[in-house]
Chains A and B, each alone.
Chain A
């Protein structure tokens, strides 16, 4: 694997909202804060990410500029996924695609919940990432 590792130190800006998107990141160790840039330079924290979590992938999917700013909250090591690698994985690795779809859906749910400003309905804990494939392969019958 042509893994490309990079270290960011506490407070380092990994990327800024509005910048061109060139790669995605998987956190090997450390913590990263995802922020939305607000008015008059006010940043609001959208979420915190830790080990094994992926970020920056939306830019690779839709090729639009960064939708948020990423800042290292502590010394953090990330694996960098370049566009070419991303394209390769999305062609040939179903597990990668499913993980990606899953992680985007979680993101969307989180944002919607925040937007609604209501308590999430009962147990909305996300399934363990390692059971992802099992989750999808579980046979679920549909009504009607």
Chain B
């Protein structure tokens, strides 16, 4: 797997930019944020062994959020080729990806509840 390094404040990708791969955090921390009615909103902070950018890898649609390094960090790139080979050789290895997606859906449901209750 390809490894990339990021410095504090460096942006991995911006919301709306084209998607081609996912990232596995080897070292460091990243902030996930989006802009909501002109204001930056931090959705979460990710640390070692966590995956981000997986939605773009899967559906190729533009990034749904911006990811920025919070410190000196290192990630492994999960490319389409890499994903395809895992899929063929060891489907069970895709389970962590399913868990990540499932957790994100549950989180976004919770967020939407908070949102509607605040009206």
B108 interface residue per 8 A CB criterion: yes
A3-11, A57-65, A75-83: which lies at the interface: A57-65
Contact B87 A108 (CB under 8 A): no
**Set A64, A94, A101, A105: member contacting B106, Cβ < 8 A:** A64
**Contact size range, B:** 35 or more
| Chain A interface SS verdict (over half) | helix
Contact A105 B59 (CB under 8 A): yes
A residues adjacent to B (C-beta < 8 A): 36, 38-39, 44, 46, 58, 61-62, 64, 67-68, 90-94, 96-98, 100-102, 104-109, 111-112, 114-116, 121, 124, 126-127, 136-137, 139-140, 142-143
Supposing A97-B87, A136-B84 touch, asked if A58 and B21 sit within 8 A by C-beta, the answer is no
Which 8 A-B pairs have CB atoms at the shortest separation, nearest pair first?
A104-B101, A94-B91, A111-B108, A97-B91, A105-B58, A140-B80, A58-B102, A62-B102
CB contacts (< 8 Å) of B112 on chain A: these are 36, 111, 114-115
Contact A108 B104 (CB under 8 A): yes
Contact A108 B106 (CB under 8 A): no
CB contacts (< 8 Å) of A108 on chain B: these are 55, 101, 104-105, 108
Cα-based distance from A64 to B81 in the complex (angstroms) = 32
Q: Which residues 78-103 of B have a CB within 8 angstroms of A?
A: 79-81, 83-84, 87-88, 91-92, 94-95, 97-99, 101-103
Cα-based distance from A97 to B99 in the complex (angstroms) = 12
Cα-based distance from A44 to B109 in the complex (angstroms) = 12
Cα-based distance from A142 to B111 in the complex (angstroms) = 33
